[in-house]
Every structure is written in C-alpha cells, then in structure tokens.
Structure 1
C-alpha cells in the first residue's frame, strides 16, 4: 500500500457543487455575485484580495445602502468593528475629487489597525454573501499575497466561509493554518523573504487581538488551485499539506496563470506560448482520489459535461460571471466589454510581463484602460498600495519591501534588477479602479482600470445571443447546468 493510498479521503456533509464561480480580481467576485450563485445551489466565491482596502473605501464612500455597516454590526466583537467605522466612515461620502485616506500596507510585522481591517474586510464580504440563505460560499486567495492570508482567512471563518480556494503558488501551509484558526489559536505563516534564509513568518494571535472568548469555528473545505498533476500529487502525499480537493486550472483561464514550463517563448503578439507540458493530466489527478474541478475554457454546458465524464465534480467558471449583472465590475466597463463581445471585437491577450508577480496575466484590450500603451505611459509610476510587494533582506539584515511596478530607480536602489521592471503595471490600483474604487489623487490624476477575462469567450458569446441585454448569475447557471441536469 502506498503512502498516498493511506491518506484519509475527506468527507463532505453537503453535495459537491457542479459549478464553482471563480474568485476574480479585487471585488469583481463581489458578495452580491457570490450570494446569487450560492442561492442557486452552486459555490459562490468572493475575491479575498485587498478586502481591507475595499472595506475602508466603501465606508469612505458613505456605504449608501448600509450593507457594510449591517455586516459590521454582526461581527462577534462589537468594539472591534466600531473602531474601524469611526475611523473611515464618511456620512454622505467623500467630497468631490477628495482622495481616499490611506490604509496600512502589508508587512511582516503588522499594526493592530492593519489586522483589524483585514479581518473585518473578509468578514464583511463573506457575511454579506451568506446573508439570508443556506447556500455555500467560499473565498479565493492568492498564495503570492502571503502576508494577508492569516487575517483574511480568519475573518472569513468568523463569517462562516464554507470553502477556501487558493492559487498562484504552492499552498502547502494552508491546511494547518485553517486547522489552528478554527480553534482561535495563534498562527505563524511562513513568508518567503528574498535573499534571506527560511525562518520569516507573519503572525496572528486571534485571542490577543480580539480579547474575547469565542466558540470554535467550522474549518472550511480547502481547495488548492493547481496547473500540473505533479503538484497535485505532491500536495496529496503528505496529510499535513494535503488539501480537501483541487481546482485544475488550464492556461486559458482569466487573471493570473502559471507560466509555461521551460524556456519562455513568445508568439507574434508577444504572448507566452503554452504547450502540452503545461496541461495537467486529468486522469492522473482523478487517480489521486480527491474531488477536483476543471478551470479555464470550461464556461459552456458541453465543457461541464466533459469534465464530469472525466471524473471531475464539475468546473470553475469565471468569464460568464465577470460579465453578469451582479459582478463587481464598474457598470460602464462591463457595458463596454459586452458591446465589444457582441460586435466580435473583444480581444484578450496573455501579457507575460504586466503583473508584478511574474505570472502571465490575461488582459482585455479596451481603449481608455491601461491595456492601451499610451494610457499606461501617461500614468505616474508609483506603488502606494503594495499588495504585490515582496519582502527582501537588506544589506543591514533588516527586511524591506519592493515591487517591480514601483518607480524603476527605487526598485533598483532596493536591489531589484532593472529588467524586471519592463512592462510592469500597478495591478493593485488598476483592479480597484475596475470596481469603481480607484484612487483620485490630489493632483487631479485618477487611476484607470485594467480588465481581465479568460481567453475562451465562447460561453459569453452564446449567453449574449440568448440575453440581448445583461444576464444574471442565475441565468448563466441555468444555461450551464440545464443541459447536464
């Protein structure tokens, strides 16, 4: 008997979803979208990135429908939530062209305010997504954004998150993290510091921070997003790092993707070339024995049926939900995408350099956004949000932070290579602009968006034919699942 066959197979107390709604962008996978999907019986997922920023900016915009404050009022430690409301809420919203107030940036050593905002941001998004129904809601994290993971995971668990989904790295430490957070135990999540030996971590002590005696939490189901069957096998061989299941993502999925294996080769449009080595062997993933879902070019009824025939529980789908009525995309940007989709002029390119993470990033080519080289050239190069900054060891031994999208001379001064700065885009500011939360600076500069979708837009085209105006998340699900029962 192999070590793999001796691993306990996780038990699920509810039917597995056939469709997982993807965790897209900063607040594109909004609580409204996740709620609509969950109410329809599938897995609704909120994006877990930068929810501290989303919370602070929604409060500064006056929280006009009261949803944020309604969720904060449900937080189990009222004084904890009250401090953030007092600090950031602006009745009636900000004055015209008033910049958003800053929030603490991610760091290994985190202030109390930083941890409060990250916990509450995740709590609010998951709580609102779960409000008023019994459906299942998950939260999606990027493994690359390590310094935010403990607090955001804990906040989502306080709100009753059913699933945690993580990609953009090797999430080997997450199962143990979730186990400990379920008991409100202190956690130290290892963080990679460039140029330094192992041993750095970010710490969260829930009992000390909340100063409250809370009952144990339900540990969410953990799904690791992988692009290779070898990574799935590696994670499954050790019970301490084994997830409860996998999302197997192909290279055509939207947002970040794993880079091609081997030497980087670009096509005539400057896109990375993916080959057979970059596609996971689904049969080998199925042989592991854990539930899995396929992602990337899976947004059609036929893809769902094929995935289930191959042994998958279902599919993860992004693009048709990103364009749905409930998505967090700014309505004017979504309308532009839909217009181009119907006209047959919507183009999605895989940019190997745009993301500061070094992962390829899918970019919709839309004039007036940062996909336009002239618009990008006009943007002052700065990094003031810092979610994709990476820690590095200075010559003094202290830890510093740098991002390839910050001013070139600053990045080089911090020991970064100048070639790593070429073509980089500040995704943090761009993705907040995508959802109507872009910064308006005192000098008059307004941050613009950068839109991402999957390369395969066949499903979206077919939905656009069925629904001449917009479609809802429920209508997308009815179309996806209707033919498969």
Structure 2
C-alpha cells in the first residue's frame, strides 16, 4: 500500500525513543533523522489535518507533501485534497488559511479523507529512504480523530503507535481491525451521558478503497504512555486491552502531565506539587513482562543506565530533540529557546490551568508568546480549530461541543462555570503557530505561538550549540549497542 520499501521484520526494540512532541515539532524530518540512527523516530499525529492543509496553502515548497500524496493508495482522495488546499506559490502574506472541518461525531467524508491522508503523508515521509523504525504519537483525549488518523499511519507502514493522555484500552482492537481493512470504531467520552448510552466514532476503510479489497497491512506495535503502575497493570491484565509495551512518563516530561494524586497542592510559584505517590513503581511495571521505556528527565547516559538497571528497555527523550536542528519548531523560536536555556533565563512552568484538557501543561516562558499574560490577554478568545473540544450532552439530548478556552459567554451558555475559563490558553492555535503556521485573522491579528518543553534542560550543556538529532543520539548512547533484543 506504500511505495516505501518494507523494513525487515522487527526482532529488537530500540534503546531510545524520540518523543512525539506538540503539533509538528516532531515532524517527519526529525523522525527520519532519528530513525536513520537505528533508534525510534516518532512523528506527532496531533492536528496533522491542519498541518497538511496549511503547508499545502503555503505552496508546499520542495514538493514533499505532493510527493507523499502521489504515493497515497487512494489517488482520488489525494486529488480532492490537492484541489481544495494546494495554492501554487503559496498564499499572499497575511492571507488567512482556509479552514479544515472540525472534529465531531457526525460522519464527514472530507474530514475523514483529510485526516487519513495527512497521517499517511507524515509517516510516509518519515520512513522514506531508510529501514529505521518509525512511530506515531497520539493523544487518547482527541478521540474523534483517532480511527482515521491511525488508518492513515498504518497505510504508510508505521512500526509503532504511541498513545497517552487517557486510557487507550480500545486501541489494540482498533489496530487489529484496521490492519485487516475492517470497519472499526472506538468509544467517545461525552460529558453528561449515562453509561447506558455509548457514543462512538469510527472509519470504514471501504469508503476510501472501494470494492477492491487491499492486502492486509502490518499491524504496528502499541506503546501505551502511562504515569502509574496501576494503569499499566490494568491495561496488561486482558488480551483485548494489552499493549505491546509502555512509555512511563514522570512529572518532568514536556507537554501534558498527569495531575498529582490526591488533593491538588501548589508550590509558591503556582505549580503542582508531586510526591512519592506520583512516581510509578518500575519494579511492578517490569513484573508485567512487557517492554517499557522511562521518560521525563532521562536525557543523559547516566539516566539511561539507571533506567536499564531498573529493568527498562530504554528511555524516551523529548526536549533534546525538540531543540535540535531537524525540529519542526520555527527556527527563530528555537534559537531563542536555546539562547535562554544557555544563559539561564529560560524557565519552563508546569501550568495547572493552561490546557483546556484540564491536565497540567508545561509552558516555556518566552517573551512575546502566548505564555506572556499580556500577549494572551490581548488575544480575542475563539475556538476555531477545536481539537481539544469536549463533547457534551445538551438538554435536548443532542451532542454539543465546548472548550474552556472559547469565549467566556459562549462557554457559560453551555452550562459551565466561568471559573473553568480562568487561565486557559488556546493550545491548538498556539502550538500550530509555533511551527510557522500561525493563522492570520481578517482584522490583521496573527495568532501568537505557545511553546512546550520538558523541565530538565541540563542535558544542553553536553551538546553542540546548534545540535542535530544525531548529536543527541550519540550523546545518549555513545558506543552502546543501538538496539536490544526483545525479551
């Protein structure tokens, strides 16, 4: 189903996983660079529909996306996407991007096609020209995009699917079905809906491939991203929910974090306080018999050795790769982050309120970005991308959508308290802006970027000033064997 040559069957696991960060930060160039070293390169699967549509509207400089779409196994779908979004030469400066369909429970053929093709393109490009392992990272929270996104990644030959920010108990079955091109669905959490009413979202591959039945796809390995040994044990106890391994994230990891267990307590800077209960018992996870990688503060050879000594297969590292040359971050923003980290002025705050998802979220305090209270206060509140919207049951029984980062009056009309909106940032627009795809509003306003990193920046002292992904791998592994035999 893809023109990329198939990789030999995997009998090993990588020591190092490159984290799937933000929206487009872990893009295909970064994942490819890591995979070429023999380690697991990971693309972020979040909001790839937006990323594909906007890059096509920028003209697709270099033609990479058009090359990937030319390899998409359903050419009619690719042609419709190009006709709708590709702008030869790119939009004029300041012109708004054409919107993409918002996620929702109602079937929307164009949305399904765009999400599937976008995930195919990102994984295809990451796998192009080598046989290293490539994975894709999703947020379980963004359930309404998952079936189409996963199908696109499978069509491109993803070796691993990583999923966190929730309980991915239905994903093993989803992978089984989609690898065989069977219709598949997963449950969608709808606020206010009783347990007697199940809401779902899904995809029927036949709507894309037509009456001809394609050959089965390789089923990728599933790594569940967890923050507790209790959740790992829950997922591992039954074959239908059991992943192929775990990424075990500690509180220092970038992006979303699990909230502290028990009553939320904040330190003097307003950040959540974590205690011993918030650090997973690695011995219990090792006893489950599945491979696992430790994440959050493991960017160094000594930390890697500690992880291996605890029974882990290896480590996942994010921030070191987010700041490398192949990162998808806007180059000027990356330079400012590196400068701030080098001179000690950059701080990364675990903000308990920033994310509409309700989880603490790491925000890099960079001036002139949405982390700045003044910059964000000047931003007109709106929710036009909506990947973090929550479906909810309205009084008439229909399903509506709400986001605490949307206009306050709009949110209150949806039977929620104003206090929910305090401090909320629009992560969707902020993270997309951070990779050079900021929306330009008709009134001239341009969306400011929002940046996330992990809180451990000490690793930068051992890297070149403008380091590459290969520099990170060498710094972590040195002369250590690149791979480790599967248990």
TM-score bucket of the superposed structures, by smaller chain: over 0.9
SS at match of 1:448: coil
Q: Deviations over 1:244-285 (max 9, x none)?
A: 000000000000010001111111100011111001001110
Aligned pair partner of 1:176 in 159, 173, 178:
173
5 Å matches for 1:6-405? 13-197=10-194, 198-211=197-210, 212-405=212-405
Q: Deviations over 1:114-147 (max 9, x none)?
A: 0011001100000000000001100000000000
State the alpha-carbon separation in 2 of the partners of residues 65 and 443 from structure 1. Answer: 31
State the alpha-carbon separation in 2 of the partners of residues 267 and 55 from structure 1. Answer: 40
Q: Does the CA contact (< 8 Å) of 1:402 and 1:414 recur in 2?
A: yes
- 2:432 alignment counterpart: 432
Gaps of 5+ in 2: 1-8, 482-487
State the alpha-carbon separation in 1 of the partners of residues 243 and 369 from structure 2. Answer: 38
What is the CA-CA distance between 1:415 and the residue it aligns to?
A: 1.5
What is the CA-CA distance between 1:416 and the residue it aligns to?
A: 1.8
SS at match of 1:288: coil
What is the CA-CA distance between 1:309 and the residue it aligns to?
A: 1.2
What is the CA-CA distance between 1:95 and the residue it aligns to?
A: 1.1
Residue correspondences, number: 470
How does the TM-score come out when normalised to structure 2?
Answer: 0.95
- 1:472 alignment counterpart: 468
Q: Deviations over 1:137-172 (max 9, x none)?
A: 000000000000000000000000000000001110
State the alpha-carbon separation in 1 of the partners of residues 92 and 107 from structure 2. Answer: 30
State the alpha-carbon separation in 1 of the partners of residues 113 and 460 from structure 2. Answer: 38
Q: Does the CA contact (< 8 Å) of 1:301 and 1:484 recur in 2?
A: no
SS at match of 2:363: strand
Q: CA RMSD in A?
A: 0.9
Q: Does the CA contact (< 8 Å) of 1:172 and 1:235 recur in 2?
A: yes
State the alpha-carbon separation in 2 of the partners of residues 447 and 70 from structure 1. Answer: 29
What is the CA-CA distance between 1:348 and the residue it aligns to?
A: 0.7
State the alpha-carbon separation in 2 of the partners of residues 297 and 153 from structure 1. Answer: 29
Q: Does the CA contact (< 8 Å) of 1:57 and 1:100 recur in 2?
A: yes
How does the TM-score come out when normalised to structure 1?
Answer: 0.96
Q: Deviations over 1:312-342 (max 9, x none)?
A: 1100000100000000000000000011111
State the alpha-carbon separation in 1 of the partners of residues 410 and 435 from structure 2. Answer: 29
5 Å matches for 1:393-472? 393-463=393-463, 467-468=464-465, 470-472=466-468
SS at match of 1:45: strand
Q: Does the CA contact (< 8 Å) of 1:80 and 1:210 recur in 2?
A: no
- 2:5 alignment counterpart: none
State the alpha-carbon separation in 2 of the partners of residues 143 and 420 from structure 1. Answer: 22
State the alpha-carbon separation in 2 of the partners of residues 439 and 171 from structure 1. Answer: 32
State the alpha-carbon separation in 1 of the partners of residues 425 and 304 from structure 2. Answer: 34
Q: Does the CA contact (< 8 Å) of 1:255 and 1:361 recur in 2?
A: yes
Q: Does the CA contact (< 8 Å) of 1:305 and 1:484 recur in 2?
A: no
